[in-house]
Chains A and B, each alone.
Chain A
């Protein structure tokens, strides 16, 4: 039971097997997280039915949705270029994704600023609105942190196309955050 053997742990594992394990684990994680979003949707419909506060800004909602969807596209491009071994395009696309994600958060922040006047958290619609967008923005933030770390790694050639799992994982997570918003956007803004 030596410490050295311990440190070598997992080294003799085939990389393909490790990749399969990582992928499955990520899917379990995404499945679990999506239940949190399902729960929030249930809270929304059970408390408010399909009610939407009339002062909710449809324009900002649409804009941030388009921005987030676009960021999913650039994230996909980053993963594709990584698979091709084109590190330059990977970095570029990751950077655009980071930028779009930041704009999304800025948009939500602006919207919160308006919403604090129109429907503060002490109202039921405000509670639902701030919790749903808050939980989602928290996921966006964590995704951005992951993407930023991965971007730095690619820039410093610590992640290369032979071990592109960090890119794949962060991009998959980013897609998940996007898909979650695809359900939240109509539930918060459109159904009424």
Chain B
């Protein structure tokens, strides 16, 4: 019901904004109707109309005008379709939304691999291929940026620190309800013919290409807004909502990863807002930022864009590292190895991420004098990353490993990220990058990092916290089948891409030289194999949620706070406020305790 009101609000907002812009244009003597200009002007009213309709007005804004806020009366499954401020509801909303987006974008990848099976043109025109490629990339980047943070950051972090909710529950709901706007704009871009710039949306192409690019810009802008709002909430929550005794050195590593990630989102997301704004203004108002002929600078876009988007790579991977280290400790039955160094590694990555962006631009025509500093800074960032890897290995070392499904996925992250990380060093090396830039070597590299690291981390988190979130267990056997199917399919898909890239296969192109046909066919078949693994997952996920065995409060025998309350936790998470008395990973010491949950008199 509230969604319906939101849609009505959004449409009214759009009409209002478009009418305003059109009448201004008519008054100044310009051609009154221009779709892109009207859409640009209607962006803000549309978003505001949607948000007000979907619940901001009824549950939040009414008191600003001296009215009574509407009480939250929705119960049961309807809560998930409502403006609900419970962090556990919002976590599940995020998870389901982004899994949906993930599978949709995965289908687009299947279409691309179908086209690439053979040299020559099969099912797509070059232009529609670029459209699928762009939407696949954009959606997957959005998933990687927001899935773990949105789903598990929201659901798990407040429980892990012993809080009853996030610091700003209404703001939390708002940041989720911006996500449907993102999806709506991406759908709109598809309906008006897509865009062909890839997820990077480089100017000047993004300024001159089809209208779909405008919707891509607005979608990214909206996701950025959602990220910033979320980041403010996470930072304040971790600072202010920790239970008594939960000192900074007793925070579970997953909380640290979300905390550090939120700093990155808070600071750097503004640059994507700026990059998108400049392109929107260039498209609709004819601004000259990127027009060399008028004195603008096309490289400006790349600088501003990567100033966000390289740190964004760490926004994608740090939460996955957090999940991985968390799981490795619990399933190795050992305290996290070098906890403080791992935290330092995360902070180090975050701090250094501001100084590496131009390694994406080695072939863009930037001054040669800048190659070496960016080469050096980029390779230096592998040191804090190495600390995290060493913490992972040290935790596994001599542990009593319990190879349940979450642990398998966490080990998968370590395995895959090794390849992703090391090939990153190759690409950071300017002379080599000039050879490898824009080839499938790059495609393989970032899929090893983002899919092999980030998405394997996402699935590790899904399997690990599923019992807590739903109160039911997932099927262990099907989970193991999914894991082995996925990791084999993944490696057979992306490992050959390193080779094919070195042999001259360009990225973002629907056709290639005939002698690469055999390898491409093999990659496509492996890709379909990888795609099918998710059918197993989906079946397991849906069926277990519906009919799975009841989960005990602590099925994995883990020590952190979220396992000290029921599955799923009650409203406000704990019946008594927990008192934290020790570190989060109290393995190997029978007398050690992380927290006491006793009614205090």
- A interface with B by C-beta (< 8 Å): 1-7, 9-10, 17, 20-21, 24-25, 28-29, 31-33, 35-36, 39-40, 42-43, 46-47, 121-124, 126-128, 130-131, 135, 149, 152-153, 156, 158
With beta carbons under 8 angstroms apart, the residue of A46, A130, A153 that contacts B287 is: A130
Q: Are A46 and B300 in contact (CB under 8 A)?
A: yes
Chain A CB within 8 A of B165 CB: yes
Chosen A-B contacts, 10 in total, with CB atoms closer than 8 Å, are: A3-B72, A7-B72, A20-B240, A24-B236, A32-B269, A39-B270, A123-B294, A124-B289, A124-B291, A127-B288
Q: Are A9 and B271 in contact (CB under 8 A)?
A: no
User: Measured between alpha carbons, how far is A133 from B236 in the docked complex, in Å?
Assistant: 31
User: Measured between alpha carbons, how far is A138 from B277 in the docked complex, in Å?
Assistant: 13
CB distance from B122 to the nearest CB of A (A): 43
Q: Are B288 and A21 in contact (CB under 8 A)?
A: no
When C-beta atoms are compared, the residue in chain B nearest to A38 turns out to be B270
Q: Mark B113-142, 1 if CB is under 8 A from A, else 0.
A: 000000000000000000000000000000
Q: Are A32 and B228 in contact (CB under 8 A)?
A: yes
Q: Are A3 and B71 in contact (CB under 8 A)?
A: yes
Chain A CB within 8 A of B197 CB: no
Q: Are A21 and B167 in contact (CB under 8 A)?
A: yes
Q: Are A6 and B270 in contact (CB under 8 A)?
A: no
A124-B294, A149-B65, A153-B66 in contact; A43/B270 too (CB < 8 A)?
A: no
Among residues 274 to 313 in chain B, which have CB atoms less than 8 Å away from a CB atom of chain A?
A: 274, 277-278, 281-282, 285-289, 291, 294-297, 300, 303-304, 307
User: Measured between alpha carbons, how far is A33 from B270 in the docked complex, in Å?
Assistant: 7
Contacts of B73 in A (CB 8 A): 3
With beta carbons under 8 angstroms apart, the residue of B74, B165, B281, B295 that contacts A124 is: B295
Q: Are B287 and A127 in contact (CB under 8 A)?
A: yes
Q: Are B64 and A46 in contact (CB under 8 A)?
A: no
Q: Are B267 and A158 in contact (CB under 8 A)?
A: no
Among residues 55 to 85 in chain B, which have CB atoms less than 8 Å away from a CB atom of chain A?
A: 63-66, 71-75, 85
User: Measured between alpha carbons, how far is A122 from B493 in the docked complex, in Å?
Assistant: 46
Among residues 230 to 266 in chain B, which have CB atoms less than 8 Å away from a CB atom of chain A?
A: 231-233, 235-236, 239-241, 266
Q: Are A43 and B289 in contact (CB under 8 A)?
A: yes
Contacts of A127 in B (CB 8 A): 278, 281-282, 287-289, 296
When C-beta atoms are compared, the residue in chain B nearest to A39 turns out to be B274
Q: Are B165 and A9 in contact (CB under 8 A)?
A: yes
A20-B240, A21-B167 in contact; A1/B570 too (CB < 8 A)?
A: yes
Contacts of A135 in B (CB 8 A): 277
- B interface with A by C-beta (< 8 Å): 63-66, 71-75, 85-86, 164-165, 167-169, 171, 228, 231-233, 235-236, 239-241, 266-271, 273-274, 277-278, 281-282, 285-289, 291, 294-297, 300, 303-304, 307, 570-572
Chain B at the A interface: mostly helix, strand, loop or mixed?
helix
Given contacts A28-B231, A131-B287, A152-B65, 14 further A-B contacts (CB under 8 A): A6-B86, A21-B236, A24-B235, A24-B240, A25-B236, A32-B232, A32-B266, A35-B270, A36-B274, A39-B270, A46-B297, A121-B285, A124-B295, A124-B296
Q: Are B168 and A35 in contact (CB under 8 A)?
A: no
Which 5 pairs show the lowest CB-CB distances between chains A and B?
Answer: A127-B287, A35-B270, A36-B270, A39-B274, A124-B295
CB distance from B553 to the nearest CB of A (A): 16
CB distance from A40 to the nearest CB of B (A): 7
When C-beta atoms are compared, the residue in chain A nearest to B28 turns out to be A116
Q: Are B267 and A3 in contact (CB under 8 A)?
A: no
Contacts of B167 in A (CB 8 A): 21, 25
When C-beta atoms are compared, the residue in chain B nearest to A125 turns out to be B295
Q: Are B303 and A126 in contact (CB under 8 A)?
A: no
Q: Are B288 and A126 in contact (CB under 8 A)?
A: yes
Contacts of A3 in B (CB 8 A): 71-75
Q: Are B66 and A124 in contact (CB under 8 A)?
A: no
CB distance from B223 to the nearest CB of A (A): 15
User: Measured between alpha carbons, how far is A21 from B241 in the docked complex, in Å?
Assistant: 9
CB distance from A127 to the nearest CB of B (A): 4
User: Measured between alpha carbons, how far is A29 from B171 in the docked complex, in Å?
Assistant: 12
With beta carbons under 8 angstroms apart, the residue of A29, A46, A122, A149 that contacts B303 is: A46
Q: Are B287 and A126 in contact (CB under 8 A)?
A: yes
Q: Are B86 and A25 in contact (CB under 8 A)?
A: no
